[in-house]
Amino acid sequence: MERWSGKVALVTGASEGIGAAIVKALVKHGVQVLGCARNLEKLKELGSSLEGPGSFRPVQCDVTKEDEILKMFEIARQEYRGLHILVNNAGLAHTGYLVESKTEDLREMMEVNVIGKSLLCLFVMHARNKTFVANPEFPLPKVQKIRCRLRRVGCGRAKRVFAPQ
């Protein structure tokens, strides 16, 4: 974990469950974390329980809403000059038999688990390219390497994203 110390991570679905556990571990190991969820109060509660050399910045964001993701990325750009890690964790499950499912539950799962996760990947790629354009000194071979790595790992895992230097 030492190599991530001082880096900036965005954790979606940070207010509880796996996301909150990841936030705790990252802050403990010195990572600067932006954590998002819809419930800001829960994020703040989490923030006050954290221990370690890292930091935590709660951001209210629904990952199915592009305008809210855009605002969150603007915070990342202004306050941290970019991101190194995306933990694309926000998700939900309405469990049960398909025949008993409600249409709105199925739609919500698709919105959050498919559209939301895909939007985060898209925004990261877009933001990374903008950083590259804005910073001509960003070494091209590194960008190409990251691109290859992104293709290999897919969307669901932590990955290096747009880094200012």
Ligand X SMILES: NC(=O)c1ccc[n+]([C@@H]2O[C@H](COP(=O)([O-])OP(=O)(O)OC[C@H]3O[C@@H](n4cnc5c(N)ncnc54)[C@H](OP(=O)(O)O)[C@@H]3O)[C@@H](O)[C@H]2O)c1
Residues that bind ligand X (CB under 6 A): 12-19, 36-39, 42, 62-64, 89-93, 112-113, 116
Minimum distance from residue 51 beta carbon to ligand X (Å): 20
Minimum distance from residue 82 beta carbon to ligand X (Å): 21
Give the sheet arrangement for strand 55-60, strand by strand: 55-60, 32-37, 8-12, 85-87, 159-160
When the beta carbons of 143 and 155 are compared against ligand X, the nearer one is: 155
Q: What angle do CA 12, 123, 16 make, to 5 degrees?
A: 5
Minimum distance from residue 117 beta carbon to ligand X (Å): 8
CA distance linking residue 54 with residue 33, whole number of Å: 7
When the beta carbons of 22 and 146 are compared against ligand X, the nearer one is: 22
**Backbone φ and ψ of 41, nearest 5°:** -60, -45
When the beta carbons of 112 and 146 are compared against ligand X, the nearer one is: 112
